[in-house]
Structure 1
Amino acid sequence: MTTPKRRKIETSDGSKPMSAFALRQQLLSASPSLSSPTSQQEVSESQASTPARSPTKGKSPRANEKADSQGQGLIGQEAQQFSTFRPNKSNSRKLQGRLQLRLKDSERFLVLGSYGITVIEGEITIAGASIRSQDGTRWICTSNDAPKRALIQDLRSHPAWNKKLAGLGKKVDPVLSVMLCGPKSSGKSTFGRILGNRLLTSPGSDRLGRSIVVLDLDPGQPEYTPAGTIALVQVKQPNLSPAFAHVATDEQAATVIRCHSIASVSPASDPELYLECALDLHRHYQKTCRGLPLIINTPGWILGTGLDLLTELIANFKPTEVIYMSEDGPKESVDGLKSACKGNFTMLPSQQSEFTSRTAAHLRSMQALAYFHTKRTPEKTAWDPTPLTSWPPLMVKYNGKSCGVFGVIAYEQQLPANLVAELLNGSMLCLVEIEDTKAFSRLRGSDDMDVDEESTPLEDIISHTPEGIPFIPNADGHTLDPRYCQTLGLVLVRGIDPKQRVLQILTPIPLARIQSAKKANHQLILIYGNLDTPGWAYTEELYYQANDKDDNDRDGGVEIMDEDTESDNSDEEPENPRFGEVSDTQTPWIEVLQGHEKRPVGSRVWRVRRDLGRAGPGNE
């Protein structure tokens, strides 16, 4: 009876570990049956005739040698060139921190990071926006600014897209109204952004004072407002940055005309409320912005109830163009949208990203982080990188005659009175301005709009927690009437002081906007819903302190590895070594545990060993 034995294979010192894919590529390229001698000779001749590349600027020859040795196992792997522009002495020069380029017609130039661009002569196109010399300096903010080893994918518009965009740009009468539908990650937002930029920057005498309107109905990934909201936005400047870079945009670039919160990142939580909010936003478009081009972006929910919502929206909005961003169906959705559409219906090919570096939840966290770190000034909008725990909060009284908030209401679920304070602390809430007391009609148990509001005081629907926090019981899951209220933004409850009867909140909402609502005798309501937990706000203080201690790391970030531990003593490794170096602090919401402190047996994450079965059958 024989048993398999492990053998030590001698390797040369210069050999490097290779992945299964790289090894397969090497074996295939070495196989004589897969390539003729003629083809091999042509490849070798072409490689021999190709001039050697110069070392990459900023890297030492040793680093280049190391990169070459690591790439020996990869066959046919070449760098993909995104730029057709090749800088030289005649077409580029640097002067006092500025790079001046001379591009020819149809040349493409890729720049990573955030930068300002000024056109001296001619015209350039960025994300569908045409920039000329009279436009001044445009600041471009890209999502590839910070992360290392980011997956770069250039923005390319499909030929079918270009043909449709050219046709939409020529339409003047009737006023253009485009509704974008389609599955998730099919390119709806990208197409809408390119279309909006083209409409704003197309040639014409009214180009400088031109504006468009965006009806953003995607609460999961909105463009100009935080997640969990839908909004009507008047856009005045081209959109040249990712959503998290202008989530709290200034009035010069875009103005939020009206905003509603569904207190959830999906319309599935309350389809009726979602539909009511969308119809109210469209009514305000007809009242205030009629005559301006309208771009309607919808969520990627195209089946079942989602399809019913889309057909209902099309029937009420009556857009001149309905564009479905997919040629692959499903047939049920396409047929339903076609039957509801009275205008032009077009199907365009989707352009899904080849790489997905961030999930929808990650993008929402980035958007929320950028939103709450916004610092607004009359001149510009900036971001403060210091942790929110170091910011002085707004002290809002919740009791007495001069209280700042009228009460708290929960959508979807009923909050027990003794748990309201604990649930609110550290949560993101929606701040809603009540324009008319009719907004409470559903909460009063009557849908009749003609009831005498004076005979039914609002105080009758208010209850109080043991801490004195006013809240509105909502056992039946009713909502505010969106026709008589609007959302101002999001707030983060940093703490609750029951002795002073004060809520400590953080919000980027301008204080003047809140004061104007109070001067108009409008009540302010906080809505607790199904928004994402702001985990980034809980840990950023610890990351900030850990980065201060790491003086040698220029990146200053905590590297997250997606690999299993290589040793068997993973139980002895700390959960986050960098957090272990941070001294004891009074960081709210966070408690750093050492080892198995306060943890039950078996609470650690189970890791699957990569060498399962390596010893062969019959061995353990």
Structure 2
Amino acid sequence: MMKRKAEKQQAAAPVSAFAARKARLQQTQTVVAPEKPTNTESTTEPASKRPRRSLEEALPQSISEDHARRLTKRGTLKADKVSQKTFDNEPRDIRRKKPEETVVDDGGNQTSSDEQSEEEDMEENGDDVINAEAEDGYESPVDTTLTMEFPLSKIRLNKSNIVYNDEHTLCVRIREKMSIVLIGHYDLWVKRGVVSLMGAKLHPSPRTYRVYAPSTHSLPVIKCVSGVDGAAEVEFKSCRSGISRLRDLSPFYQRVWNSANTPADRLSLKTVEPTTKRTFSVLHTSADDPLKRHLRPLHLEKQWSAAIKTLSQRSGRLQVLVCGPKASGKSTFGRYLLNHLLSPAPQTESNYHNTDGVAFLDLDPGQPEFSPMGQVYLAHLRSPVFGPPFTHPSLDNDRDGNIVRAHHIGATSPKEDPDHYVLAATNLMEHYRSLLATYPQCPLIINYPGWIFGLGLEVATYLVRSLSLSDVVYMSEKGPMEVVEPLSQAAGTARTPLTILPSQPTEFVSRSSAQLRSMQMQSYFHMSQPKETNHPMWLERPVFKNRPFHVRYAGPHQGIHGIMVLGAQISPDLLAECLEGAIVGVVAVESPYALPLPPSSSSSDPQNETNPPTTNNNNPERPSDTDTDTDMSNNQPAPPTIPTLKAHTTPTKESLPYLSPTSKTGTSTPLHPDSSQTLGLALIRSINPTTQTISLSTPISSSRLAHSLSQGHALVLVRGLLDNPNWAVSEEYYAARAGERRVRREITTRNTENEDRDEEEAEAEGERKKRVLASLKERVSRARNVPFMTVIEDHGRRRQDEAKRERRALWKLRKKAGPDSESEVGY
């Protein structure tokens, strides 16, 4: 009896992330019976497993219901069944059984009453399912999740540590070595003392920092480093950026931000209305979350902290390449190092201030930090960044930073064209050296993708030997040796120190890689940067409802001078169909040497065979730097870009300027990075052959496009292998459903308030309600009848039960770190 009581008390207490992981491993060993004899433990990390294709296959067969009930009663296992999400690569019979995560709350938050109203909508209208993107790098949602109570904040709000508060603001006193965790988005102002946040040391100043803490990632921890009288004072203020309104356009943005008020919020909001909500909530443990999501704090390994401290001491001389297997924490490490470099370290606060910023060279086109997928770029940061990538999908702010140069890869993996990838990386490195002329103390962080095996390893070792780096960081202590040994040899040849750190992956996540890419792409097309503010804003209107840009692709006032399709050759007759509804890169061609020109007749002259000109492997006719200098000395300027580009295009039946493939393989050769750069992405809405115009939706400013044209650059649209914009097709449908739910809630509220009205007023109000609901249902009906989208209806009770379980679904992440794994396939 005493033993049973002690076990209950231990199960009720909060546990740390490391203790919970250990408990899960022990539970797996004791509960799940092994099907195969155990083999000798490998020195390499295990390869990935195939995604589970059904819920029946995912259930552990060896766990009986009685045994699981006993474990739940003792507090060792608390499990909720979950269901799968919908993917294109799954069987069709499974896709028809997936629920839709619908939008619920009008105020940006989701409560238990909202969930009930959503279920009522499902009973009346049926459950609608829209096919989503294929998964990438994640298994299917796990069948059970351990709902343990994780400690988040080390302080509990009370009268002694709340300095002041109102309906929008909360000022908290944090004692040294204590921490606080919030979920949502807010502006942070340090009034007294020094606090640490995601690697940055924030000192008292008039400046505020915008922090995004969604449930899709581990929550940032705000810790007091030093204070006045042993404490620091920090003010949190609600912000209206509009990013929470994206929940009305995509189910991926639902259940992301803070929901109903937590116990700590109710304590600090006693003096205001009970319905008041801030854009952030204070959490003491994960059990305080009203939605019961899988929330975890963002902590670093001690070896990571030591490595960041060592690297930051190099200050302006730092040029580090961060590489490692997939899902090993490369992006997190790079973000922490970036923030640490942009704020003075404690031991150098008296004599060092970073005024030159930090250069960030992102070579991961699958999961970029400051741009949408399919691009590699060089960014110059001048302010710390607090938030996941979909909260800063582009960078164009004089205070925070800007993109120096970018190149369109056209795919989420560099393996599609390794030669072009290496040329782009080399060109970006050259522009970093040019940046050093203006900012001599600007360090460099290079983020290399998880493409670290096979050909990707050859590219990584080439970059280590040729870029003159100061450090190389490899994010996995488990090897494998097939990767570590070549990296060590390349680092030794370049006399560059190699640091090997343990990986720190997140075991459970609520979004897959493909879903995070869709969220980032959707955020990119909805974000704007007003000149009067220092922070971005997001618009909740569907992309196809915004006014497009109409650009001429032929005629005297031509704006688009060429169209290129990467990958396999496309027939000119199918080019228009290939472009409509696709995402393309808008590339500015600075010189005709960027084009893959055919061999000139002069090159066949026998007199030139003895001393052939130096050429580039990507463009046979593009001269090297030596040849360019020779041409300049002979007063032979380069030909104009736009006329040269027109001479190499083939008009289609719609008069589209098609840059058809010229290579013998039938594939298009990308534009050379030395003579071209990417301005951004655009979504092609339609092509009008009559007016010879293309309708584009793009966040690229018209001033930037005009500036590029004024410099004589030619604009080329590049169609790559990026994911289809399914999110854009379904935006109007989700927006219509959200509007219908809002009106229904308003009608329900008015019915309660107008019970005392007479019969005539009630009858008139009822007729008006019917007309409003009829118009809303018609809008929903029109929104679902669009091309490229299938809405599957199911009115059964089973759909409602699966929708409940779907809200708590998690993705179990398995790191792929073996030579035979699929790490080269996706990011």
State TM-score, norm by structure 2: 0.59
Match of 1:461 in 2: 648
Question: Is 1:443–1:480's contact at 8 Å kept on the other side of the alignment?
Answer: no
Structure 2 equivalent of residue 279 of structure 1: 426
User: What does residue 196 of structure 1 align with?
Assistant: 338
From 369, 380, 386, the counterpart of 1:240: 386
- Could you say which residue in structure 2 is the equivalent of 1:430? 585
Task: Write the mapping of 1:199-348 to structure 2, written as runs, cut at 5 A.
Answer: 199-202=341-344, 203=349, 207=353, 209-251=355-397, 252-289=399-436, 291-341=441-491, 342-348=495-501
- State the shift of 1:319 in Å: 1.3
> Which runs of 5 or more residues in structure 1 are unaligned?
1-18, 32-57, 64-73, 556-577, 597-606, 608-620
**Residue 24 of structure 1, aligned match among 46, 53, 67:** 67
Secondary structure class of the residue paired with 1:120: strand
Identify the residue that residue 180 of structure 1 maps to in structure 2. 322
The DSSP-based 3-state class of the residue aligned with 1:310 is helix
1:27-176 aligned within 5 A: 27=70, 79-92=149-162, 93-134=164-205, 136-144=207-215, 146-147=254-255, 149-172=292-315, 175-176=317-318
Residues 397, 588 of structure 1: alpha-carbon distance in 2 compared, 3 angstrom cutoff: farther
Distance 1:414 1:553, change over 3 A: farther
Q: Residue 389 of structure 1 contacts residue 587 of structure 1 at CA under 8 Å; is this kept in 2?
A: no
- Which residue number in structure 1 is paired with residue 731 of structure 2? 540
Q: Deviations over 1:208-230 (max 9, x none)?
A: 63410001000000001110000
Shift of 1:163: 1.2
Give the whole-Å Cα distance in 2 for the aligned partners of 1:518 and 1:180.
37
| CA displacement at 1:249 relative to structure 2 | 2.6
- How much has 1:448 moved relative to structure 2? 2.5
1:345-424 alignment, distance < 5 Å? 345-380=498-533, 381-424=536-579
Which deviates further from its counterpart, 440-449 or 248-257? Answer: 440-449
2: distance between equivalents of 1:325 and 1:545?
Answer: 45
Q: Can you list the C-alpha shifts for 1:55-95, whole angstroms capped at 9, x where unaligned?
A: xxx999xx9xxxxxxxxxx9x97522111011111111423
The change in CA–CA distance for 1:595 and 1:109 in structure 2 (over 3 A counts) is closer
Task: Report the AA paired with residue 365 of structure 1.
Answer: S
Q: Name the amino acid aligned to 1:264.
A: A
Amino acid at match of 1:88: N
* 1:473 partnered with 2:660: yes
Change in 2 beyond 3 A, CA 1:490/1:479: same
Closer, same or farther in 2 for the Cα pair 1:180/1:460, shift >3 Å?
same
Q: Secondary structure at the match of 2:499?
A: strand
- Higher RCO, 1 or 2 (CA under 8 Å, sep at least 6)? 2
* 1:412–1:477 contact (8 Å) kept in structure 2: yes
| Distance apart, 1:466 and its partner CA | 1.2
> In the alignment, what sits opposite 1:582?
780
Change (3 A) 1:275 1:86: same
**Residues 2-32 of structure 1: CA deviation (Å, up to 9, x unaligned):** xxxxxxxxxxxxxxxxx9588435536999x
CA RMSD between the two structures: 3.0
Give secondary structure in 1 for the equivalent of 2:174.
coil
1:401 Cα shift?
2.0
Write the distance in 2 (CA, Å) between the matches of 1:156 and 1:21. Answer: 36
**Unmatched tracts of structure 2, length 5 or more:** 1-61, 75-110, 117-143, 216-243, 245-253, 256-290, 601-618, 624-630, 747-775, 795-801, 803-827
Determine if the alignment matches structure 1 residue 496 to structure 2 residue 687: yes
The structural deviation recorded for 1:447 is: 1.0
CA apart distance, 1:524: 0.4
| Distance change (3 Å), C-alpha of 1:170 and 1:553 | farther
Deviations 1:253-301 (A, max 9, x none): 1210010111111001001110110010001111123541110100001
- Per-residue CA distance 1:431-484 (angstroms, 9 max, x = gap): 000111111144668613359864994333111121111111113431211100
Hey, what does 1:49 align to over in structure 2?
none
Distance 2:644 2:402 in 1: 35
Q: Percent identity?
A: 32
Preserved contact between residue 729 and residue 789 of structure 2 (Cα < 8 Å): no
Shift of residue 130, structure 1, vs aligned partner:
1.2
Q: Which has the higher helix share?
A: 2
Distance 2:729 2:73 in 1: 54
Give the length in aligned residue pairs: 517
CA distance in 2, matches of 1:477, 1:29: 59
Q: 1:339 to 1:593 in 2, by over 3 A?
A: closer
